[in-house]
Amino acid sequence: MAARLNEEGVASEPVVDLATAVRLADVISTCTRSHEPLVRGSDLKPGVQLDLVGGYTPSTREADDECARRALVFVDRRESAFHGVGDILEPIASGTIRETDVLGDLYDLVSGKVKGRRSGSDITFFKNAGGGHLDLMTAEVMFGQIAN
């Protein structure tokens, strides 16, 4: 993957130690079907953006509870996040975070109803539960901008 990205002009390099890579990263994006957390909250540096794209069932996890505890948590859509994704449900079930600690979804962020990052040291955590609703949300935002 790193070789292909380099061929496309995207500077990249493979890593063999995920924890070290996480500690150095400014942006972390995961897209797996892992049933065990891959990213540890203790490895997140201040200011990092964590995007969890995989893990779309209650039993799949890409990040541990500490990631959610340390971060400002956002989701693609509240309804899907609270009804089926382990990266949100498990930290709530363990008492690490509450449902109210999920600060907003894409609708809230795009409309300005909620603020995302508040300072350069904020850790932001975005959980994408996936689905066709993302296309609809994008179309709604684009249509709203065109209509206005």
Instruction: Assess whether pLDDT exceeds 60 at residue 148.
Output: no
Say what the pLDDT of residue 72 is.
98
Domain total in the chain: 1
Say what the pLDDT of residue 145 is.
62
Is 51 strand, coil or helix? Answer: strand
Displacement of CA 8 from its chain's centroid (Å): 25
74-126 pLDDT tens trace: 999 888 888 889 999 999 999 999 999 999 998 899 889 999 999 999 999 99
Structural domain of 7: 2-147
Mean pLDDT of all residues belonging to the chain:
90
Say what the pLDDT of residue 131 is.
63
Residue type, 142: M
| DSSP track, 76-120 | S-HHHHTTT-HHHHHHHHTTSS-GGGEEEEHHHHHHTSS----ST
Please tell me which residue, 42 or 147, carries the higher pLDDT value: 42
Say what the pLDDT of residue 107 is.
86
Contacts of 59 (CB under 8 A, 6+ apart): 35, 86
Instruction: Assess whether pLDDT exceeds 70 at residue 134.
Output: no
pTM listed for this prediction = 0.84
Q: What percent of the chain has pLDDT over 90?
A: 68
| Beta strands 49-52 and 72-75, pairing class | unpaired
12-62 pLDDT tens trace: 889 899 999 999 999 999 989 999 999 999 999 999 999 999 888 899 999
Say what the pLDDT of residue 71 is.
98
User: Any idea which residue has 């249509």 for tokens?
Assistant: 143
Q: In CATH, what number is assigned to the domain containing residue 27?
A: 3.40.50.720
